[in-house]
Amino acid sequence: MSLPISCNKDRWWEGYNVYLENSDVQEHVGEWIEDDFESKVVKILYDGLGGDNIGVDQPLRVLGIGSAEGQQEILQLEKLKTKFSKLSTTVIEPNKQMFLQYQETVRQKSSDLTGIEFEWHNQTYQDYVILHGVKKKYHFISMVHSIYYVGDSDLEETIKELYDILVPGGVILMLLLTDHTGIGKLLHTFPNLATQEQNSAPSDPSMTKSNRLINSTDVKSILDKHQIAYTQSELREFLNITACFTGIDAAKRNLLLDILTQTIDFKASVSTTVYNQVLDFVKDHMSVRKSHHNDDELCYFDTVNDILLITK
Ligand SMILES: C[S@@+](CC[C@H](N)C(=O)[O-])C[C@H]1O[C@@H](n2cnc3c(N)ncnc32)[C@H](O)[C@@H]1O
């Protein structure tokens, strides 16, 4: 029997680290923050809220959900600081190691982060809401590749709740997979790998959780339904999946496949037929290109992510 990788946090982190080693997603998100965050996010916030002396008399309230070690969020905070001198940031991150790493980076960079207060929550968003409710409102909410885990039980309710805690004039940044390229398309095409064989009934009806991750089409249809305003832009990432075919490190190959399919021990837990179907899909959608670093020919599985800026 196979299970969604979300059921085993340790395995997920192991796989996610192998994925990050082979993807340039962090680099591209960092470039987007460097090049576009000021004109696309800071400007909207400043135009919408600056007149109310936000960031001067009272802090701009920022909420980071699924912040990991804070790499991307700190870049965003530094940009926000150029227009808002006072910031109050609430960090929600359930992984202890990442959470402690974020705190350590803030300690090390304290001179660059003056004027920013941090409130720390080492828990899931769902637990945070149970414990603290949804009374506090925010001017900016950052969710980079985290809506999958926050909205997995009821996406529509989660989006309505996030929109409720957004102050008018505020912005939610949501970066997530699309369903028409790379990993998003793979998971959209094979949504039931973790619960059942493709096209057959689940053997255990209590196991309803699928390996399919929320994608931007899911989110946009809810935003459209509730007439919530947003803009959309694309962010490409290149994932080197050579290890899935020729890598000599079997452990890494399996972890990368687990992340691509969001299934624990994918190779061992599905039938040869399903395994081959998925590998054929990957082969049909990958490109073989020269490495940026040397002349090696590598297999790339390219993904287009969506950046949604939700405004109120
Ligand atoms: C794909 S990582 C993205 C991390 C970070 N935002 C970035 O872009 O580098 C997803 C993050 O969401 C966190 N996470 C998982 N489930 C969560 C939940 N229910 N509530 C909040 N965060 C969650 C994970 O621990 C992880 O740090």
Helices (H) and strands (E) in the chain, counts: 13, 8
The model's confidence at residue 204, banded by pLDDT at 50, 70 and 90, is: very low
The model's confidence at residue 311, banded by pLDDT at 50, 70 and 90, is: very high
Q: How many CB atoms lie within 10 A of CB 215?
A: 22
| Average pLDDT of the residues in 101-112 | 96
What's the pLDDT score for residue 192? 81
Q: pTM of the prediction?
A: 0.93
User: What is the maximum span of the chain, computed from C-alpha positions, in angstroms?
Assistant: 63
Cα distances (angstroms) measured from residue 261 to each of 90, 111, 254, 283: 32, 42, 10, 14
Q: Could you give all domains of the chain from N- to C-terminal order, each with its CATH number? A: 5-311 (3.40.50.150)
| Average pLDDT of the residues in 179-198 | 80
| Average pLDDT of the residues in 262-282 | 92
* Residue 140 Cβ contacting ligand 1 at under 6 Å: no
Q: How far is the CA of 251 from the centre of ligand 1 (A)?
A: 23
* Residue 158 Cβ contacting ligand 1 at under 6 Å: no
SS percent in the chain: helix, strand, coil, step 5: 45, 25, 30
The model's confidence at residue 209, banded by pLDDT at 50, 70 and 90, is: low
Enclosing H/E stretch for 297: strand 297-311
How far is it, in rounded angstroms, from Cα 300 to Cα 24? 11
What's the pLDDT score for residue 47? 93
| Average pLDDT of the residues in 181-201 | 73
Average pLDDT, the chain: 91
**Least confident window among 78-92, 123-137, 195-209:** 195-209
Higher pLDDT, 173 or 268: 173
The model's confidence at residue 197, banded by pLDDT at 50, 70 and 90, is: very low
* Residue 102 Cβ contacting ligand 1 at under 6 Å: no
* Residue 162 Cβ contacting ligand 1 at under 6 Å: no
| Atom from ligand 1 closest to the CA of residue 71 | 9
pLDDT at 42 over 60: yes
Nearest C-alpha neighbor of 276 from the set 211, 185, 178, 197: 197
What's the pLDDT score for residue 124? 96
3-state DSSP assignment of residue 213: coil
Take atom 27 of ligand 1 and give the residue whose Cα is closest: 68
The model's confidence at residue 6, banded by pLDDT at 50, 70 and 90, is: confident
Rg (CA), the chain: 20
The model's confidence at residue 207, banded by pLDDT at 50, 70 and 90, is: very low
* Residue partners of 150: CB distance under 8 A and separation at least 6: 65, 66, 124, 125, 126, 143, 158
| Average pLDDT of the residues in 37-61 | 90
pLDDT at 203 over 70: no
**Least confident window among 144-153, 187-196, 225-234:** 187-196
How far is it, in rounded angstroms, from Cα 125 to Cα 94? 8
pLDDT at 196 over 60: no
* Residue 32 Cβ contacting ligand 1 at under 6 Å: no
Take atom 23 of ligand 1 and give the residue whose Cα is closest: 66
Nearest C-alpha neighbor of 29 from the set 112, 187, 203, 20: 20
What's the pLDDT score for residue 52? 72
Query: Among 43-57, 110-124, 291-305, which range has the highest average pLDDT?
Result: 110-124
pLDDT at 199 over 60: no
| Average pLDDT of the residues in 290-300 | 84
Percent of the chain with pLDDT over 70: 93
Higher pLDDT, 49 or 63: 63
| Average pLDDT of the residues in 148-170 | 95
How far is it, in rounded angstroms, from Cα 78 to Cα 109? 11
